[in-house]
Structure 1
Amino acid sequence: MTSTDTATDPLHGTVVAVTGASSGIGEATARLLSTRGAKLVLGARRTDRLDALAAELRSTGGTVTTVPTDVVRPEDLVRLVGTAVENHGRLDVLVGNAGISAIGPLADGDTAGWTSMIDVNLRGVLNGIAAAMPVFRRQGRGHFVTTVSTSGLKIVPNQGVYAATKNAVRTVMEALRQESTDGVIRTTSISPGFVRTELTDSITDPGLREQIRATMDSFGLDPAVVARAIAFVIEQPHDVEIGELTIRPTVQG
């Protein structure tokens, strides 16, 4: 895309904050939106990787700010949103992408893993909504885009609690949609299937981790595929809301 094309791109100048931006879908989203002229505020816990990504994007003309962000901490989300407003005068979109997958059989009784998934996958989304909603309301518009999962659409062994957190997010997003029919807030839930990300790193069982990793490597989608879907929903006119998108490999059962 040429500089002239970028200037006329519907995403040019859009202010977007992304959580979980240091790898996987979040990183791919940051890369794509930057090439299309969006102004980015990127949050993640791994600040070394986040800063390296930001430096790379700035070297090609991107407008990028980084904020150390653990979505479990409400104050981190407030800081992320506040940085966008301070630097750019507004926040147009919050992409809630941070998530973990401490999957395993319910019989294992992994209460620590369950708590972590509830905290990151569900409370993290709620913390983002709480932080951005006052800004969106004050501006008169805003867009919540949240990475959910095909887990929950199809319940399978070992993913019971993970799917439960994702279905809880799906419920929250639908409730938010119904509470927001005044035209101010847009909501979008993106449900990817197998994508080649680092989500398996949070699986503690080595055998299960290798099994899921092998499946991802065998036919998982490139994260850039999901990034393109996120860009697509953001670029729609503000009176158009794409509520849900499901994206999976054609061979996924």
Structure 2
Amino acid sequence: MTNRLENTVALVTGSSSGIGAATARRLAAEGAAVALVARRRDRLDGLAAGIRADGGTALVVQADVTSQREAAGAVETAVAELGRLDTVVNNAGIMLLGPALDAPIGEWDQMVALNVQGMLYITHTALPHLVRAAADSPRQVADLVTITSTAGRVARPGSAVYNLTKFGAAAFSEALRQELIGRRVRVSVIEPGTVDTELASHLRDDIREAARSQTASIEPLRPDDIADTVAYIVTRDRRVAVNEMLVRAAEQTW
């Protein structure tokens, strides 16, 4: 690695597993000090130990971002401990699929709370810090990256509320992008297709089997593939803004 993010600080939500953990490792390898934000402290401690063993800097911040107080506290803790905030990756999310007619309302609440409100709580507190970082950084830029999904581009039966949260995140990001152009804060969305993560493990048993059969013929992306995408976006020169990247598994049609 070339330490392209040396002297910067990144915060990654949902970093206890999957895309979040891979992204945290990759940004640390690029030289960023990384704040690891998630609920599972044991997972975060293990990830932080691995990053430090490789010569990186990692701060464990246990928090549930669906709580406005905890989300704001996570951002402020990262800034207090690491000194600044140059990059935020809104990765925490949950996918609960199934027909709307039979869906427990609690599943809809969970998706809105994490995929939308959690993203908003982190972003709201982080924005002033990102603006300040862009103003005083030698790189003259800061980055806000939100991981959405192909479900933020294509609506399909059985994923109505998941689609709502991901389409909404994309629209929010685009409006924010336009607002922040003059502040040199780049706003990007990454739309992964099928990725080998824990996301499907939260599905009800019958829905999980249906989802598995649908993707059985697809070689899924790996979390590192999406981490590579994040790293590509946030290491560009300030003259380059990569606002949207759609990354599908090669055999995926939707």
TM-score when scaled to structure 1?
0.92
8 Å Cα contact 2:13/2:89 also seen in 1: yes
Match for 2:101 among 88, 101, 107? 107
Q: CA deviation at 1:217?
A: 8.4
8 Å Cα contact 1:74/1:131 also seen in 2: no
Q: CA deviation at 1:55?
A: 1.1
8 Å Cα contact 1:145/1:189 also seen in 2: yes
Structure-1 separation of matches of 2:88 and 2:10: 6
Corresponding residue for 2:138? Answer: none
Q: CA deviation at 1:77?
A: 2.2
Q: Map of 1:194-233 to 2, 5 A cutoff?
A: 194-204=194-204, 206-213=205-212, 215=215, 218-233=218-233
Residues 206-248 of structure 1: CA deviation (Å, up to 9, x unaligned) = 1221232452784210110000000000001223211100000
Comparing 164-173 with 232-241, greater Cα deviation is found at: 232-241
Q: Say yes or no: does 1:13 pair with 2:7.
A: yes
Residues 141-199 of structure 1: CA deviation (Å, up to 9, x unaligned) = 53110000001312211111101110010110011011112143210100000000100
Comparing 84-93 with 186-195, greater Cα deviation is found at: 84-93
Q: CA deviation at 1:249?
A: 1.0
Comparing 32-41 with 17-26, greater Cα deviation is found at: 32-41
8 Å Cα contact 1:54/1:64 also seen in 2: yes
8 Å Cα contact 2:84/2:129 also seen in 1: yes
Structure-2 separation of matches of 1:221 and 1:240: 26
Q: Say yes or no: does 1:237 pair with 2:237.
A: yes
Match for 1:62 among 52, 56, 69? 56
Structure-2 separation of matches of 1:216 and 1:110: 26
Unaligned runs of 5+ in 1: none
Corresponding residue for 2:91? Answer: 97
Corresponding residue for 1:22? Answer: 16
Q: Map of 1:60-209 to 2, 5 A cutoff?
A: 60-139=54-133, 140=135, 141-204=141-204, 206-209=205-208
Residues 65-96 of structure 1: CA deviation (Å, up to 9, x unaligned) = 01012111122222222222222321000100
Structure-2 separation of matches of 1:21 and 1:13: 21
Structure-2 separation of matches of 1:52 and 1:217: 33
8 Å Cα contact 1:191/1:245 also seen in 2: yes
Structure-1 separation of matches of 2:80 and 2:208: 41
Q: CA deviation at 1:14?
A: 2.2
Secondary structure of the corresponding residue to residue 180 of structure 1: helix
Q: Map of 1:25-36 to 2, 5 A cutoff?
A: 25-36=19-30
Runs of 4+ in 1 over 4 A off after TM superposition: none
TM-score when scaled to structure 2?
0.92
Q: Say yes or no: does 1:44 pair with 2:43.
A: no
8 Å Cα contact 2:100/2:158 also seen in 1: yes
Aligned length: 246
8 Å Cα contact 1:18/1:94 also seen in 2: yes
Secondary structure of the corresponding residue to residue 195 of structure 1: coil
AA paired with 2:219?
A: F
8 Å Cα contact 1:17/1:80 also seen in 2: no
Structure-2 separation of matches of 1:216 and 1:98: 25
8 Å Cα contact 2:131/2:183 also seen in 1: no
Distance 1:175 1:51, change over 3 A: same
Comparing 238-247 with 14-23, greater Cα deviation is found at: 238-247
AA paired with 1:147?
A: I
Q: CA deviation at 1:11?
A: 1.9
Secondary structure of the corresponding residue to residue 152 of structure 2: coil
Aligned-pair identity (%): 40
